[in-house]
Protein backbone atom coordinates (compact mmCIF):
# COMPACT_ATOMS: atom_id res chain seq x y z
CA UNK A 1 0.00 0.00 0.00
CA UNK A 2 1.48 3.35 -0.96
CA UNK A 3 1.04 6.67 0.80
CA UNK A 4 -1.46 7.78 -1.85
CA UNK A 5 -3.82 5.05 -0.64
CA UNK A 6 -3.29 5.86 3.04
CA UNK A 7 -2.83 9.62 3.37
CA UNK A 8 -3.51 9.49 7.13
CA UNK A 9 -0.22 7.60 7.70
CA UNK A 10 2.79 9.84 8.07
CA UNK A 11 6.03 8.85 6.39
CA UNK A 12 8.55 7.35 8.81
CA UNK A 13 12.29 7.14 8.21
CA UNK A 14 14.83 4.59 9.38
CA UNK A 15 18.11 6.06 10.70
CA UNK A 16 19.90 6.27 7.33
CA UNK A 17 16.90 7.95 5.70
CA UNK A 18 16.50 10.24 8.71
CA UNK A 19 20.11 11.40 8.33
CA UNK A 20 19.53 12.08 4.64
CA UNK A 21 16.36 14.04 5.48
CA UNK A 22 18.15 16.15 8.13
CA UNK A 23 20.97 16.92 5.68
CA UNK A 24 18.73 17.69 2.69
CA UNK A 25 16.02 19.67 4.49
CA UNK A 26 17.99 21.42 7.24
CA UNK A 27 21.70 21.11 6.44
CA UNK A 28 22.27 19.17 9.69
CA UNK A 29 24.84 16.41 9.22
CA UNK A 30 24.37 13.44 11.53
CA UNK A 31 25.40 9.85 10.93
CA UNK A 32 23.13 6.89 11.64
CA UNK A 33 25.53 5.92 14.44
CA UNK A 34 25.12 9.34 16.03
CA UNK A 35 21.34 8.96 15.98
CA UNK A 36 21.77 5.51 17.52
CA UNK A 37 23.95 6.96 20.28
CA UNK A 38 21.46 9.75 20.92
CA UNK A 39 18.68 7.15 21.11
CA UNK A 40 20.54 5.55 24.03
CA UNK A 41 21.79 8.67 25.80
CA UNK A 42 18.90 10.99 25.00
CA UNK A 43 18.92 14.34 23.27
CA UNK A 44 18.03 13.09 19.80
CA UNK A 45 14.80 13.23 17.80
CA UNK A 46 11.68 11.49 19.10
CA UNK A 47 11.41 7.91 17.83
CA UNK A 48 8.52 5.60 17.04
CA UNK A 49 9.31 1.91 17.09
CA UNK A 50 8.06 -0.17 14.21
CA UNK A 51 8.46 -3.65 15.66
CA UNK A 52 12.11 -3.57 16.73
CA UNK A 53 13.22 -0.77 14.40
CA UNK A 54 13.29 2.86 15.55
CA UNK A 55 11.76 5.21 13.00
CA UNK A 56 11.51 9.00 12.84
CA UNK A 57 8.69 11.16 11.50
CA UNK A 58 9.43 14.28 9.47
CA UNK A 59 7.83 16.40 12.21
CA UNK A 60 10.13 14.90 14.87
CA UNK A 61 13.19 15.48 12.68
CA UNK A 62 12.08 19.06 11.98
CA UNK A 63 11.65 19.70 15.72
CA UNK A 64 15.10 18.21 16.43
CA UNK A 65 16.78 20.36 13.76
CA UNK A 66 15.01 23.47 15.06
CA UNK A 67 16.19 22.68 18.60
CA UNK A 68 19.87 22.28 17.72
CA UNK A 69 20.20 25.18 15.27
CA UNK A 70 20.61 28.73 16.55
CA UNK A 71 19.13 31.87 15.11
CA UNK A 72 21.36 33.59 12.53
CA UNK A 73 24.09 35.79 14.08
CA UNK A 74 26.67 38.14 12.61
CA UNK A 75 29.46 37.34 15.10
CA UNK A 76 30.27 35.31 18.20
CA UNK A 77 29.65 38.24 20.55
CA UNK A 78 26.07 38.44 19.31
CA UNK A 79 25.64 34.73 19.99
CA UNK A 80 27.01 35.12 23.54
CA UNK A 81 24.60 38.02 24.17
CA UNK A 82 21.69 35.90 22.92
CA UNK A 83 22.69 33.04 25.23
CA UNK A 84 23.13 35.39 28.20
CA UNK A 85 19.72 37.00 27.74
CA UNK A 86 18.02 33.62 27.25
CA UNK A 87 19.69 32.30 30.43
CA UNK A 88 18.66 35.41 32.36
CA UNK A 89 15.08 34.94 31.17
CA UNK A 90 15.12 31.39 32.57
CA UNK A 91 15.14 29.50 29.30
CA UNK A 92 17.63 26.81 28.38
CA UNK A 93 20.61 28.00 26.36
CA UNK A 94 21.11 24.86 24.32
CA UNK A 95 19.40 21.48 24.08
CA UNK A 96 22.85 19.87 24.28
CA UNK A 97 23.39 21.33 27.74
CA UNK A 98 20.12 19.97 29.09
CA UNK A 99 19.97 16.37 30.26
CA UNK A 100 16.72 14.67 29.27
CA UNK A 101 14.67 13.09 32.04
CA UNK A 102 16.00 9.69 32.99
CA UNK A 103 19.39 10.21 31.34
CA UNK A 104 22.39 9.00 33.34
CA UNK A 105 24.33 11.87 34.87
CA UNK A 106 28.03 11.95 34.09
CA UNK A 107 30.19 12.24 37.20
CA UNK A 108 33.57 12.06 35.48
CA UNK A 109 34.33 15.71 36.14
CA UNK A 110 33.43 15.29 39.79
CA UNK A 111 35.61 12.16 40.00
CA UNK A 112 38.59 14.03 38.57
CA UNK A 113 37.96 16.97 40.92
CA UNK A 114 37.93 14.55 43.85
CA UNK A 115 41.25 13.00 42.75
CA UNK A 116 42.75 16.48 42.33
CA UNK A 117 41.66 17.52 45.84
CA UNK A 118 43.22 14.39 47.31
CA UNK A 119 46.47 15.10 45.48
CA UNK A 120 46.57 18.75 46.59
CA UNK A 121 45.74 17.81 50.18
CA UNK A 122 48.56 15.27 50.25
CA UNK A 123 51.34 17.61 49.10
CA UNK A 124 54.22 16.84 51.45
CA UNK A 125 52.86 13.47 52.62
CA UNK A 126 54.40 10.14 51.74
CA UNK A 127 51.23 8.66 50.25
CA UNK A 128 49.16 10.92 47.97
CA UNK A 129 46.05 8.83 48.50
CA UNK A 130 46.38 8.95 52.29
CA UNK A 131 44.62 12.30 52.68
CA UNK A 132 40.83 12.23 52.75
CA UNK A 133 38.67 15.27 52.05
CA UNK A 134 35.53 14.01 53.79
3-state secondary structure of 13: strand
108 and 96 share a domain?
Answer: no
The residue among 98, 26, 94, 97 whose CA lies nearest residue 60 is: 26
1 and 48 fall within a common domain: yes
Condensed to tens digits (0 to 9), the pLDDT of residues 56-99 reads 999 999 999 999 998 888 998 988 888 888 887 765 544 444 54
Q: What pLDDT was estimated at residue 4?
A: 54
Same domain? 22 vs 82 = no
What is the number of domains present in the chain? 3
* 97 and 42 within one domain: no
- Check whether residue 20 and residue 42 sit in a common domain: yes
**DSSP letters for 100-120:** PTTPPPP-HHHHHHHHHHHHH
Q: pTM for this one?
A: 0.57
Are 61 and 14 members of one domain? yes
Task: Domain of residue 125: give its range.
Answer: 104-134
Instruction: State pLDDT tens for residues 17-29.
Output: 999 999 999 999 9
Amino acid sequence: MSLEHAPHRARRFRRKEACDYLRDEHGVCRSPRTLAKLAVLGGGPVMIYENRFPTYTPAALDDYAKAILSAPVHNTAERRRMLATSNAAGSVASPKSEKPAGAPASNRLQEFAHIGKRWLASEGTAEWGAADDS
